Amino acid sequence: MQYSFTTEQNEFRGVLRRFFEQSSPPPVVRRLMETEAGWDRALWRDLNAQLGLCGVHVPEAYGGMGFGFVELGIVLEEMGRALLCAPFFSSAVLATNAILNGADEAQKAALLPGLVSGDTVAALAITEPDGNWDPGAVATTARQADGRYRLSGVKSFVIDGHSADLLIVLARLPGSKGEEGLSLFVVRGDAEGMRRTALQTLDPTRKLARIEFDGAEAELLGKPGEAAGPIARTLAQAAAMLANEMVGGAERLRESALDYANLRVQFGRPVSSFQAMKHKQADMLVDLELAKSAAYQAAQAVADDQPDFPAVASLAKASASDVYLQTAIHTIQIHGGIGFTWENDTHLWFKRAKSSEVLLGDAVWHREAMMRAWVDGGREVQ
């Protein structure tokens, strides 16, 4: 199979790269990662006012651009390359897709335009303190009283959960187990009975939060007890998009390693001329190209809604997890002593590689998911 981007897609990539090179150089990344929110609303407005990126894959009926997941993958690859500090993955990928997959038409019409314009930032809360990405392990409950739902429980590792205007929360109805009774709920960021705390994490460029619900009022999203299919679909789509983001970061690291190897001189020769260095650079390139191929194929599978796209997405996420982290390790080694210092920018991508490795499940988890899907004949998500 041959895969190539269209001329329009390549032009789109060029526009994005130039924009992110200007708006998200390493000094800006360092400044934003030290802030409490972790992102800048002025930059966020520019991102959407000038390029409309939050609506790339959203149907035009809800204010989006009406493209697909291939274009969204290009956006994420370039964001990963620039290490953009913005709530794009949490809001435009996780939360927006959860609404597209699980909400009714009236709710989509009410919620999506604000997310597309960037006026509203949303986060998807699934995992709990055990860090398990399996929806069947969710313990947060939603009880109905006086025609309203109220949530009780704790969510953790919620991307941008401390600063989001809107939370999409996965909870279960009382008395249910496993995937039965799972439901999605909308909680306003200023709701009473909710406490949000930013977590201290390895990667300061992607903020995570712990959210405690103590009777917080919530609005049911979609039908009660029928969120298992939509949330599985959302997570598979997110895994494919995260793989594209990760190969973008890995490509930036590989180029940095090659540039430094050409610059650094030992024994009167650039270190790039040594045979061992040539082997390492070649291995990095081959591994990255394989991971990119898997990520691009996953984006296409999601765009085409292929029945086995969850398995393909898991394959891409597992491959990108391994390659991104290994590329970061090689890049630090090639830089030598300077590569271990705070002043060198390599550690920023290394930390993102490590955090992305476990986000949405690590490589082992996704390889098991991939094998289960293919052994079972490719379970189709609804």
Distance CA(232)–CA(134), nearest Å, equals 9
Six token digits for residue 356: 């992305």
Note the pLDDT of residue 377. 55
Q: Which residues on neighbouring strands pair with residue 83, listed in sequence order? A: none
Residue-by-residue DSSP string for 97-114: HHHHHHS-HHHHHHHHHH
DSSP string for 107-161: HHHHHHHHHHHTSS-EEEE---TT----GGG---EEEEETTEEEEEEEEEEEETT
pLDDT digits (tens, 9 = 90+) for 141-150: 999 887 789 9
Query: How many angstroms separate the CA atoms of 263 and 269, rounded?
Result: 10
Identify the band that residue 382 occupies on the pLDDT scale cut at 50, 70 and 90. very low
Q: What is the pLDDT of residues 221-264, one digit of tens each?
A: 999 999 999 999 999 999 999 999 999 999 999 999 998 888 87
Q: Quick one: pLDDT at residue 2? A: 56
Q: Over 60: is that where the pLDDT of 70 sits?
A: yes
Domain 229-375 has CATH 1.20.140.10: yes
Maximum distance among all Cα pairs of the chain, rounded to whole angstroms: 80
Residue in 94, 79, 86 with CA at minimum distance from that of residue 124: 94
**Angle between helical axes of 346-358 and 309-335 (0-180°, round to 10):** 150
Question: Residue range 34-60: average pLDDT?
Answer: 91
CA gap 185, 235 in Å, rounded: 16
Contact between residue 151 and residue 172 where contact means Cβ atoms under 8 Å apart: no
pLDDT over 90, % of the chain: 79
**Domain boundaries defined on the chain:** 7-120, 123-225, 229-375
Q: For residue 376, what pLDDT is reported?
A: 65
Spatial distance between the Cα atoms of 282 and 172, rounded to a whole number of angstroms = 49
Nearest to 40 by CA among 52, 32, 51: 32
Residue with tokens 């490795």: 357
Residue located via tokens 């799972």 = 182
Q: What was the pLDDT predicted at 192?
A: 93
* The domain over range 123-225 is classified in CATH as 2.40.110.10: yes
Long-range pairs for 9-12: beta carbons < 8 A, 24 or more residues apart: 9/70, 9/71, 9/74, 12/71, 12/74
- Checking if the pLDDT of 379 tops 70, the result is no
What are φ and ψ of residue 178, in 5° steps? 60, -135
* Apex 92 CA angle, 2 and 295, nearest 5: 20
199-229, pLDDT tens digit by residue?
999 999 999 999 999 999 999 999 999 999 9
Three-state secondary-structure class, residue 348: helix
Determine the distance from the C-alpha atom of residue 41 to the mean position of all C-alpha atoms in its chain, rounded to a whole number. 19
With H, G, I as helix, E, B as strand and everything else as coil, classify residue 38. coil
Closest by Cα among 342, 346, 344 to 325: 346
CATH fold for domain 7-120: Butyryl-Coa Dehydrogenase, subunit A; domain 1 (1.10.540)
Tokens of 94: 């996780």
Tell me the pLDDT tens digit for each residue of 110-137: 999 999 999 999 999 999 999 999 999 9
- On average, the pLDDT of the chain sits at 92
Q: How many other CB atoms are found less than 10 A from the CB of residue 149?
A: 21
Sorting pLDDT into bands at 50, 70 and 90, what band is 381?
very low
- The answer to pTM > 0.85 is yes
Tell me the mean pLDDT in the region 347-368. Answer: 94
pLDDT class of 378 with cuts at 50, 70, 90: very low
Q: In this structure, what DSSP letter does residue 322 have?
A: H
Read off the pLDDT of residues 150-189 as tens digits, 9 standing for 90 and up. 999 999 999 999 999 999 999 999 877 778 889 999 999 9
pLDDT digits (tens, 9 = 90+) for 266-315: 787 877 778 888 899 999 999 999 999 999 999 999 999 998 899 999 99
Answer for the pair 162, 196: CB distance below 8 angstroms, yes or no.
Answer: yes
Residue 331 has pLDDT above 60, yes or no: yes
